[in-house]
């Protein structure tokens, strides 16, 4: 039995959580090693090893965040045998909305009704949430409370759908990506029961934002990384305190909270970031437990501010210690066991903003890495900046869920040239690279700016 199962609360009559999920990824990708790296003048080693990205998913000319959201929901409904009348709410987390007022979920419902019949979703509530890359997780938290109170056997759907987009040849260009994840929420779920303890952290920052009317974001890279680490650590502390008060996770003497987490999933703006995030969390959490002594035996004690003459010297010593900690055997062992595999799919897809953390869950499913009774911790981050940390336990039926088949689908995608990618990026290609089939498409934008979607057989 896992430590998560040992420390879980007893006598729970009913749970809410993630019953199933589906992932949609565009059928095009840009290889980052080769033509892209050569023409952009980037060392391929920086991309493959330093950042951890090999391929970037690219939407075709007929695709946008709304079509991808509709596709992931259609996949989820077919996969789960879900009928429209069962769905009580559809929440969409996105920062790629094509309308300043109209919720993306209404477009999604309009598309799905082309398959299931006009009016089939009329009793379904929908809302769009925007909070940078944390939006879907906030939607998940909100919908979990609604679902716990729901008394008509309804289920909920939370959709993440985004196109991560930065200017051509900008420092963030190689961290782009696109895709959508749909999560099916219900009572007594088959996959993951949420433990309904949420730790939050928020402060006002300018690390990443997209001014009104802009199609690409403004990114203050190093500052954004530090905001991510600060916020996730703060949310983890909030979670740990709340979990202790509720008796959910109470470490024994010399133990720590992360001992009770079998896997930890983080927001993945690029795969290497999960290494930085986990190093920050483990280093912070281990300060109060026995593992700290083993770390100190290997790399020495953590620098103390009083040991240095000025702030700059102390900060330099802290940075050096962080690098040594990330190379320590204690950290590498914990990272390999609890975090590393969550970035598997992101290496082939890139950043999908609000859904990247749930690509981590899909990665664990694809690799058959989760087992009944395990506790999963989730550390979500949204620039601006907010973080949320929560947990859930894997249910026995999770092992019976059919595979997602994502590895095969990624292998079947079409590689495109840098020229095609740039045309698609700038919206200059009208004809699709791959003609659409059995999918939703953006059919046109009328003189009022209204977007029209169709399902192509």
Four-CA torsion 280, 285, 287, 291, nearest 10 degrees: -100
* pLDDT of res. 5: 41
In tens, the pLDDT along 161-195 reads 999 999 999 999 999 999 999 999 999 999 999 99
Do you find a cis peptide bond into 385, omega within 30 degrees of 0?
yes
**Which DSSP symbol is given to 444?**
E
Structure tokens at 140: 């998940």
CA distance 280 to 331: 10
What SS3 state is found at 255? coil
- Token pair of 176, please? 């782009």
Q: Residue 321, SS3? A: helix
Distance, CA of 333 to CA of 312 (rounded, Å): 31
Tell me how far the alpha carbon of residue 61 is from its chain's centroid: 25
Whether the CB-CB separation of 164 and 176 falls below 8 Å is answered with yes
Please write the tens of the pLDDT for every residue from 62-110. 999 999 999 999 999 999 999 999 999 999 999 999 899 999 999 999 9
Give the pLDDT band (50/70/90) at residue 4.
Answer: very low
pLDDT of 268 over the 80 cut? yes
Round to whole Å and give the CA distance between 273 and 141.
24
Average pLDDT over residues 371-379: 98
More confident: 7 or 261:
261
Instruction: Determine the distance from the C-alpha atom of residue 104 to the mean position of all C-alpha atoms in its chain, rounded to a whole number.
Output: 19
Locus of tokens 């060392």: 43
pLDDT tens readout for residues 346-364: 999 999 999 999 999 999 9
Question: Over 50: is that where the pLDDT of 38 sits?
Answer: yes
pLDDT tens per residue across span 115-134: 999 999 999 999 999 999 99
- What does the alpha-carbon distance between residue 181 and residue 20 come to, in Å, rounded to a whole number? 11
* Cα distance from N-terminal residue to C-terminal residue, the chain: 49
Report the pLDDT value the prediction gives residue 88, as an integer from 0 to 100.
98
The string of DSSP letters for 92-132 reads EE-S--S-SSS-HHHHHHHHHHHHH-TTTTTT-EEEEE-BT
The confidence band for 1, taking pLDDT boundaries of 50, 70 and 90, is: very low
- Which residue, 72, 60, 94, is CA-closest to 24? 72
For the stretch 421-438, what's the b/e string if a residue is b when 16 or more beta carbons lie within 10 angstroms of its beta carbon? Answer: bebbbeeebeebbeebee
Q: Encoding tokens for residue 237?
A: 């502390």
SS3 91: strand
pLDDT of residue 240: 98
Determine the Cα angle at 373 with ends 250 and 379, to 5°. Answer: 60
pLDDT at 288: 81
Q: In the chain, what percentage of residues exceed pLDDT 90?
A: 89
Q: What pLDDT was estimated at residue 84?
A: 98
Would you place residue 9 in the very low, low, confident or very high pLDDT band (cuts 50, 70, 90)?
A: very low
pLDDT digits (tens, 9 = 90+) for 377-407: 999 999 999 999 999 999 999 999 999 999 9
The pLDDT of residue 70: 98
**Where in the chain are the domains?**
3-456
Please say whether the structural domain 3-456 has been given the CATH code 3.40.47.10: yes
Q: Dump strand ranges (E) for 221-311.
A: 263-266
**Residue 8: pLDDT band with limits 50, 70, 90:** very low
> For residue 232, is pLDDT > 60?
yes
Each residue's pLDDT tens digit, 401-411: 999 999 999 99
Beta bridge partners of 183: 21, 158
CA distances from 430 to 233, 415, 426 (A): 45, 18, 11
Q: How far apart are CA 439 and CA 361, in angstroms?
A: 25
Q: Return the structure tokens found at 386.
A: 């907010």
Q: What is the pLDDT of residue 315?
A: 87
For the record, the structure tokens of 64 come out as 């946008």
Give, as one character, the DSSP assignment of residue 392. Answer: E
309 confidence band (pLDDT: 50, 70, 90): confident
């Amino acid at each position: 039995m896992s430590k998560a199962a040992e420390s879980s609360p007893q006598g729970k009559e009913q749970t809410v959580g993630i019953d199933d999920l589906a992932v949609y990824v565009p059928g095009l990708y840009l290889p980052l090693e080769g033509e892209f790296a050569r023409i952009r003048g980037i060392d391929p080693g920086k991309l493959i090893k330093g950042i951890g990205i090999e391929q970037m998913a690219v939407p075709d000319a007929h695709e946008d965040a709304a079509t991808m959201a509709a596709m992931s929901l259609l996949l989820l409904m077919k996969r789960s045998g879900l009928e429209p009348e069962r769905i009580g709410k559809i929440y969409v987390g996105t920062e790629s909305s094509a309308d300043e007022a109209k919720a993306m979920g209404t477009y999604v419902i309009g598309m799905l009704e082309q398959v299931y019949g006009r009016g089939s979703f009329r009793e379904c509530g929908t809302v769009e949430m925007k909070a940078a890359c944390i939006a879907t997780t906030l939607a998940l938290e909100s919908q979990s409370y609604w679902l716990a109170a729901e008394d008509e056997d309804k289920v909920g759907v939370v959709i993440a759908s985004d196109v991560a987009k930065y200017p051509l040849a900008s420092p963030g260009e190689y961290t782009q990506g696109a895709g959508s994840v749909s999560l099916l929420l219900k009572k007594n779920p088959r996959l993951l029961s949420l433990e309904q303890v949420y730790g939050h952290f928020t402060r006002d920052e300018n690390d990443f934002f997209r001014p009104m009317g802009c199609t690409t974001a403004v990114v203050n890279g190093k500052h954004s990384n530090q905001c991510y680490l600060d916020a996730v650590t703060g949310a983890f502390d909030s979670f740990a305190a709340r979990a202790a008060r509720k008796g959910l996770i109470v470490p024994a003497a010399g133990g720590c909270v992360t001992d009770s987490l079998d896997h930890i999933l983080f927001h993945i703006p690029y795969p290497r970031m999960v290494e930085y995030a986990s190093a920050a969390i483990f280093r912070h959490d281990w300060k109060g437990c026995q593992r700290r002594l083993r770390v100190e035996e290997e790399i020495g004690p953590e620098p103390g501010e009083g040991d240095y003459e000025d702030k700059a010297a102390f900060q330099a010593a802290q940075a050096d210690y962080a690098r040594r900690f990330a190379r320590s055997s204690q950290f590498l062992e914990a990272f390999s066991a609890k975090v590393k595999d969550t970035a598997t799919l992101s290496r082939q897809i890139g950043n999908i903003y609000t859904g990247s953390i749930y690509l981590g869950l899909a990665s664990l499913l694809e690799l058959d890495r989760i087992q009944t009774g395990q506790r999963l911790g989730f550390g979500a981050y949204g620039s601006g900046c907010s973080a949320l940390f929560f947990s859930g336990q894997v249910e026995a039926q999770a092992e019976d869920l059919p595979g997602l088949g994502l590895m095969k689908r990624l292998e079947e995608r079409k590689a495109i040239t840098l020229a095609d990618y740039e045309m698609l990026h700038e919206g200059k290609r009208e004809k699709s690279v791959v003609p659409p089939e059995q999918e939703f498409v953006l059919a046109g934008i009328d003189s009022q700016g209204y977007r029209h979607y169709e399902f192509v057989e």
